[in-house]
Structure formats: C-alpha cells, structure tokens
A = this chain, B = another copy of it.
Amino acid sequence: MHAEKGRLYGVSLGPGDPGLVTLNALRVLEEADSVWFPATPGQGGGRSSIALDILRSCGIDERKCRGIELSMSSDRSHAEQAYARSWLLMQEELLEQKSVAVVTVGDAGMYSTVTPILEHAAAAGRPYRIVAGVPAFLAAGAAAGLPLAAHAERLTILARVGSVDEIDRVLDREKGTVVVMKLSTVRDQLVPWLEKRRPDFFYAEKIGMPGEFITSRVEELCARTIPYFSLLVCSRYGRVASSVEGKL
C-alpha cells in the first residue's frame, strides 16, 4: 500500500515493539506528508507518546509528526474537542492534496484512538483507508509462548470492564479463552479475585514497550500498579510456557 495524495490513512503501529509494524504501515508512514499521533500531556508540561516512540524507532521524519493531545481523564469532552480540532487541521491538509496518516498503538479496529478521526472523516464524506496491525493481546500470547485459541475454541475479548463480576460471568458462560484488556479499571479487585477464582491465567503489561512484564503468578501481581496498557488472559493455556526462550 502506498500513501496517495489527498488520502487519509488510519495506520496500526502494533503494541509497542517497532518490529511489529507491518510493511504496509511503514511504507504509508514514510510516504505520508503528515503523521498524527496520540499523545498524553505530562505533569511537567511535556508529553508522552508510545506512538511517537514507535515512529521514531522506525525512522519516520519527526518534522512531519503532529500530536493529538489526549488527557487520560475519564471526562471524554476534552478528548472529543482534541479530535475535532485535529480533524479540522487534517481536513485542510487533505484539501491541499496532502496524504495524511493518523496512527494508533495496537490495531486500528480494536479500542483504537483513530476511531473518532475516521468517524469524523466518514461524517464529512471523506474516503479513508485502514492499515491493519498486530493487537496487544496477540503480541502478549506470542511473548508468553502460548496459543490463545485452536480448532473450534472460542475467544472472548472484554475491555475496560466495570467489575471483576463481568469477567466471572463470561468465564462461567463461555467456553474457551477470555482476554480482558485495559485492566486498570479493576486494579483493586484483580488480586483478590485471582486468589479466589484461581483461573489458569497470564497477566501482561507494556508488551513490546520498555518495562514489558509478564507473569502467571498471583504473588507477582500484589505489588504492581496495573497500568493502562495491561491485559489478562484466562484460558486452558493460561500458564506462561516454560519453553519460551528467555523465560527458562
């Protein structure tokens, strides 16, 4: 896939490891006239962005990269304003026949920061293309050395659950593997629940990023803060494989 003039692209970067960027994504990012990335304002006035870290590692010219500043606040109106402002600027670029890429950590189709921009584009009748990528839960399975589903097994993905009861209900009801993404909403309930329910599980945090951590031992979770980029996999394959290189 090549970046064409006057075109909008929603580009998946994968979960953090620049090596999980696809060839299509790299080509579009190299050729695009501008690359928009989600960023979080920092406490000292700076900002942090996993997406920008990945873009830098891939050698994308930083002069064409522009941040969409999204605070981590649960009040969505700030984020909605940031998206609306960024979309207006992107739209100007598109009218000037520039090629515009907007990137997301993970895949653009699952719980993605590009969705609101693509919704603005759709509402404005502006065509776009999506470049698919590697989602965090599959990268976590790979890091653990475990398949997530085989044959006719079922895989259920939950995100931002309100309570561990929701995980309980799905585990009771659905056979197969249950993945819970963006675990920080149940931060305080997680360890007591794992101790009580005792599912076969693994927990993964910051997969492919600095600080990557993966475990299938409850004891190792007691002292952890459970960040936004974290996930839990409950399945019959739920133990980190002892034969994974580097985890022996």
Given the contacts A19-B1, A156-B157, A147 and B243 also touching, CB distance less than 8 Å: no
Task: Tally A residues with Cβ within 8 Å of B.
Answer: 68
Residue of B nearest to A146 (CB): B109
Q: Which of B20, B107, B158, B173 contacts A22 (CB 8 A)?
A: B20
Q: Is A222 an interface residue (CB 8 A)?
A: no
- A162–B152 alpha-carbon span in the complex (Å): 9
Residue A125 lies at the interface, judged by CB distance under 8 Å to chain B: yes
Residues of B within 8 A of A23 (CB): 18-23, 26
Q: A22-B22, A111-B150 are in contact. Are A130 and B141 (CB under 8 A)?
A: yes
Give the residues in chain B near A82, CB-CB below 8 Å.
none
Partner of A110 from B131, B149, B158, B162 at Cβ < 8 Å: B149
Chain-B contact segment, one of A32-40, A88-96, A132-140, A193-201: A132-140
Q: A109-B142, A149-B159 are in contact. List 7 more A-B contacts (CB 8 A).
A: A19-B22, A20-B132, A23-B26, A111-B151, A127-B248, A129-B244, A135-B135
